[in-house]
Chain A
Amino acid sequence: MSALLDVERLEVGFGGRTSAVRGASLTVERGETHCLVGESGCGKSVTALAIMNLLARGGHRSAQRLAFQDEDLLKLDERGMARLRGNSMAMIFQEPMTSLNPAYTIGSQMTEVMRRHKKVSQRVATDRAADLLGRVGITAPGLRLGQFPHQLSGGLRQRVMIAMALMCEPQLLIADEPTTALDVTVQAQILRLLAQLQRDLGLGLLLITHDLGIVARIAHRVSVMYAGEVVESAATAQLFADPRHPYTQGLLRCVPVPGKQRQDEPLGSIPGTVPRIGPGFEGCGFRDRCSFADASCAHTVPHQTAAPGHDYLCRLAP
């Protein structure tokens, strides 16, 4: 059986001046959590939006293949996409306050999705909403359904967003930095919930994050993105044990880990900043910040395999 989501050589540009995504490939299997990790501006959110065909005006996507359950998303018109979105593929965003409508109750926002896609009665939809709120750990779901988003804490709002995304039993859930706006304690609770739902419902979960701690704890598979490219992809344990791309290695050194680092030692850091890349760019996007770069990095970047399922883009030998 082919993958749940299959993205091959995705390109996203904005107005012919910026190349936000440059030939990124990734797959999400059924029942798999795939983390897309990278720093701001690396193209990870744009990748998610391009998959959902939600790019801002001026954004243009193209790909060799972009298939969800073997359906070619590139051939779907807006109506066809609207039939999938919120239904068999759902998405949750970073800031739950801006993705919930402040003027409608939780209940009406949750049931709307299901009534639209599944043509069920309000009664059936309300029952399912209450059931899912309970499932995401919200006590007194009946009360919450009648409340407005501003009456809920940030953690509760994100739980509501997750419950809402699950209303139509999606196969694929894309979560874009779902816990970045939350406190660490609440973050752990929400991630635990996501991992549990993913297992219980057999979801394919594409989780976008900048936090390698989250990746290590929740992902089955990781793709590291830099300057619009997936520079390394591997099973989670493999990537953390044997990172091959100098960017992945640098990123791992930057993370402070309690008990691992002496205080008087500086943290590892990556000098410089992410370059802005336009069409026609050649070579490795990381070369200006890389201590291993040589002249060849300005034009060719070989695609190499370190182990089965562990690929990276770099001239350094596996």
Chain B
Amino acid sequence: MTATAQPAIELRSVGKTFRVAGGILGKDRRVVAVDGVSFAVPPGGVLGVVGESGCGKSTLARLILGLLTPDSGDIAVEGQRIVDMDRKARARLIQPVFQDPFSSLNPLTRIRDIVAMPLQAQGSFSRAEIAKRVDEMLERVGLPGEMGNRLPAELSGGQRQRVAIARALVLRPRIVVCDEPTSALDVSVQAQILNLLAELRRDLGLTYLFISHNLAVVEHVASEVAVMYLGRIVEKKPTQALFHSPEHPYTKALLASVLTPEPGLGVPDVGLGDVMPDPANIPPGCRFHPRCPVAESRCSTQTPPLRPRPGGGVECLLVP
């Protein structure tokens, strides 16, 4: 892979705002979900995206999948603008794996048919070809062939997530967007699924966008990490650099809140206060300043510029 290779995913100043009806008397509210986000993921890379609920990470996933249209900016997947692609071509290139394997599989459809659906939707595969590819895929994700004839309710959470992965990969896409793929699973099953995703990426040369609120998981799977706060990426770096020398106070707080299984350390003081971020009401200046433990008065008026770093950058007024 050369340095000049075209990025697998590229975002340029992407923005997305939702209008939320305010009720009978209330005013409509504008919820800023994604605000001026730019990044590029190289082919074969894994970009981890972390942040709290409401930070816009799932909206970002939907934009990249082409399920939502950005209000501003451009999203290109392997050099093609995602909004210009037709659905079938898009499905052959990029596929999702969602969080909840209980709600993302149709309960009345047999596993085989769930996995076959993307092939059938293409309309260009013969029945024999579909059956062959489904069998291969089920085996590849570690599901015994007889599972194909079962319904989702007969499977455990981990098995269902394997089905979701099989469905995502059956068209042999180049890119997979994983939105909290293991958050609903037990730790022992989470480990199985993370190992499977890592193995598939290596063997099939996939690129992942991996969204999670669990920093320990992101550290294990990602080559680069982007930290999102109220719609913006406030810090992005190669994984090692982000974990060893976090610069943004929010990144530091996120890292401090990871409870590693080390007895005796007690529960850390994250120091974020109890003001919760509200995407309908983005603070002026640095949007993190109301919760920032080290904020100065200028942080409430000046917008922090992007300070470039190798492989990314950080947006904070207080870092040099």
- Chain A residues within CB distance 8 Å of chain B: 39-40, 137-139, 153-156, 183-189, 191-192, 195, 210-218, 236-237, 240-241, 250-259, 261, 263, 266-271, 273
Contacts and interface: CB of A to CB of B under 8 A. Distances in A.
Contacts of A137: 274
Contacts of B254: 184-185
A192 B274 CA distance: 13
A255 B216 contact: yes
Given A138-B274, A269-B195, A183 B213 contact: yes
Given A211-B259, A257-B260, A267 B270 contact: no
A183 B243 CA distance: 19
Nearest to A42: B186
Nearest to B266: A217
Q: Is the interface of A mostly helix, strand, loop or mixed?
A: helix
A187 to B, nearest CB: 7
B187 A216 contact: no
Interface residues of B, number: 48
Contacts of A217: 259, 262-263, 265-267
B38 interface: no
B258 A213 contact: yes
B257 A185 contact: yes
A148 to B, nearest CB: 14
24 contacts: A39-B186, A155-B274, A155-B276, A156-B276, A184-B213, A185-B253, A185-B257, A188-B259, A188-B269, A189-B270, A191-B259, A210-B187, A213-B261, A214-B259, A216-B259, A216-B260, A217-B262, A218-B267, A252-B261, A256-B216, A256-B217, A263-B239, A266-B199, A267-B194
B195 A266 contact: yes
Nearest to A267: B191
B259 A254 contact: no
B55 to A, nearest CB: 9
B187 A251 contact: yes
Contacts of A259: 219, 243
B193 to A, nearest CB: 9
Interface in B262-296: 262-270, 272, 274, 276
Given A183-B53, A270-B188, A273-B156, A188 B270 contact: yes
Given A155-B276, A184-B254, A217-B265, 13 more contacts: A137-B274, A138-B274, A139-B274, A183-B53, A184-B52, A184-B258, A189-B272, A195-B266, A254-B190, A263-B220, A263-B239, A269-B189, A273-B159
Most B CB atoms within 10 A — which of A137, A216, A258?
Answer: A258
B238 to A, nearest CB: 11
B59 interface: no
Contact of A215 (B189, B216, B261): B261
Interface string B211-244: 0011111011100000000000000000100010
Contact of A258 (B195, B260, B268): B260
Nearest to B194: A267
A250 B188 contact: yes
A187 B269 CA distance: 11
Q: Which of B158, B187, B269 has the most CB of A within 10 A?
A: B187
A273 to B, nearest CB: 5
A185 B272 contact: yes
Contact of B186 (A153, A156, A210): A210
A81 to B, nearest CB: 32
A192 B259 contact: no
Contact of B52 (A185, A215, A273): A185
Contacts of B52: 183-186
Nearest to A220: B263
B131 interface: no
Contacts of A188: 256-257, 259, 267-270
A258 B216 contact: yes
A258 B259 contact: no
